[in-house]
Amino acid sequence: MTSHEGRSLIVVTGATGNIGRSLVGRLLADGAAVRALTRDPARAGLPAGAETVGADLTGADDLASLLAGADALFLNLAAGGEQAATAVLDAAVRAGVRRVVLNSSMAVTDTPADDTHFIARLHAGLERAVRDSGLEWTFVRGGNYATNALAWAPSIRESGVVREAHPGAQGVPVHEADLADVAAVALLDRSGAHLGKAYVVTGPERMTLARQVAEIAAATGREIRVEQISEEEAAEAMSGRYLTREAALELVRMFGRTVDAPPFPVSDAVERVTGRPGRTFARWARDHAADFS
Ligand SMILES: NC(=O)c1ccc[n+]([C@@H]2O[C@H](COP(=O)([O-])OP(=O)(O)OC[C@H]3O[C@@H](n4cnc5c(N)ncnc54)[C@H](OP(=O)(O)O)[C@@H]3O)[C@@H](O)[C@H]2O)c1
């Protein structure tokens, strides 16, 4: 890798997000220089050690200057969507960035099924663009983010209730800090061991949504009741600017199928890549207790 005042310079998209904020801290702790991208540097609250730069990646910002001098890029689809991610990737190639770590999804399976589900299709398309870019790459195929439980925070705070269509739905929730740690290792690695790898990253244990609620109750000391609602009501509550009602219903039905059939195995990628076991959901709930109080 080249250097920025003697250190690798990593550009982090979505730097104030769940993964991004954790990643910025981790990269700085590992001695890297970090250019953290956010639409609003004044409100970002990122560490002073990072170079925090304002950029709306869906707008006409000067992408070349955002990537100038960088060694590697953490690319997150959440930072402006598909077109923005593709534009940042192209700009990275033009700027001479060597490596990209893509925040992808375990929905991508490298089978024809990738064309049938919208989440897989979206991430698989971006993976293809990365493979075709000629850059060194690593994919972090996470899924079932523990942070999805933050959607319960308003109703827990207001009434101590979680409303779900399928409280028995099973998942393997992963802590954002583990996704960030895997990404950091891949971004900074000098051995080449992580190049061309697509890591399926899960949490360390399978559990139902009801059990996640119980862990949040334990971490916050609150009594939390789970109320079962219809799939249609759940889809209505989930849909919004980025998710149509139809897509939300597809997701709710997909969760429903996991009640009887666990969707994916527990992966040991966090431990293999970082050398440390993945953080439990109980730990996540303690880390986020303030969000539910
Ligand atoms: N949830 C899951 O279970 C799951 C599973 C598999 C994959 N994923 C992937 O993970 C992604 C979410 O990652 P995350 O949780 O770290 O994201 P996040 O917390 O939603 O953070 C996204 C960040 O992107 C920034 N951003 C938004 N719009 C932008 C724009 N127009 N220009 C520049 N920056 C913009 C925002 O920062 P500012 O407001 O500071 O600009 C925001 O903090 C999903 O999009 C998906 O691709 C999620």
% of the chain exceeding 70 in pLDDT: 98
Residue 139 has pLDDT above 90, yes or no: yes
* Whether residue 76 has its Cβ less than 6 Å from ligand 1: yes
In a domain, 130, yes or no: yes
In a domain, 179, yes or no: no
Please tell me the least confidently modeled range out of 3-12, 22-31, 67-76: 3-12
The CATH number covering residue 125 comes to: 3.40.50.720
Please report the pLDDT score of residue 131 as a whole number: 98
Q: 276: CA distance to ligand 1 center in Å?
A: 25
Helix (H, G, I), strand (E, B) or coil at 141: strand
Token pair for 277? 């076991």
Residue 33 pairs in a beta bridge with: 9
Token pair for 17? 């997000």
Give dist(CA 184, CA 28) in Å, integer: 10
With 0-12 / 13-18 / 19 or more C-beta atoms within 10 angstroms meaning exposed / middle / buried, residue 142 is buried
Please report the pLDDT score of residue 4 as a whole number: 74
pLDDT band at 101 (very low <50, low <70, confident <90, very high): very high
In a domain, 49, yes or no: yes
The H or E element that residue 279 is part of is: none
Residues 72 and 167 in one domain: no
Q: Which of 113, 169, 119 is nearest to 141 (CA)?
A: 119
Higher-pLDDT residue of 59 and 97 is 97
Please report the pLDDT score of residue 6 as a whole number: 82
Average pLDDT for the chain: 95
* Whether residue 77 has its Cβ less than 6 Å from ligand 1: yes
pLDDT band at 60 (very low <50, low <70, confident <90, very high): low
Helix (H, G, I), strand (E, B) or coil at 263: coil
pLDDT band at 108 (very low <50, low <70, confident <90, very high): very high
Residues 164 and 283 in one domain: yes
Q: What is the DSSP string of 192-205?
A: -TTTTEEEEE--SS
% of the chain exceeding 90 in pLDDT: 91
Residues 17 and 129 in one domain: yes
Mean pLDDT across the stretch 109-122? 92
In a domain, 196, yes or no: no
* Domain interval for residue 83: 9-142
Backbone angles phi, psi at 72, to 5 degrees: -145, 160
| The dihedral sign for the CA sequence 14, 21, 39, 4 | negative
Please report the pLDDT score of residue 118 as a whole number: 86
Substitution site in 38, 86, 174, 291 for ligand 1 pocket (most atoms within 8 Å of beta carbon): 38
Please report the pLDDT score of residue 117 as a whole number: 86
Residues 98 and 159 in one domain: no
Picking from 125, 142, 159, the residue at the C-terminal end of a domain is 142
Neighbouring C-beta atoms of residue 189, cutoff 10 Å: 18
* Whether residue 147 has its Cβ less than 6 Å from ligand 1: yes
Helix (H, G, I), strand (E, B) or coil at 192: coil
Helix (H, G, I), strand (E, B) or coil at 191: coil
Mean pLDDT across the stretch 98-109? 97
Of all protein residues, the one whose alpha carbon is nearest to atom 26 of ligand 1 is 79
Please report the pLDDT score of residue 33 as a whole number: 98
First vs last Cα of the chain: how many Å apart? 44
pLDDT band at 152 (very low <50, low <70, confident <90, very high): very high
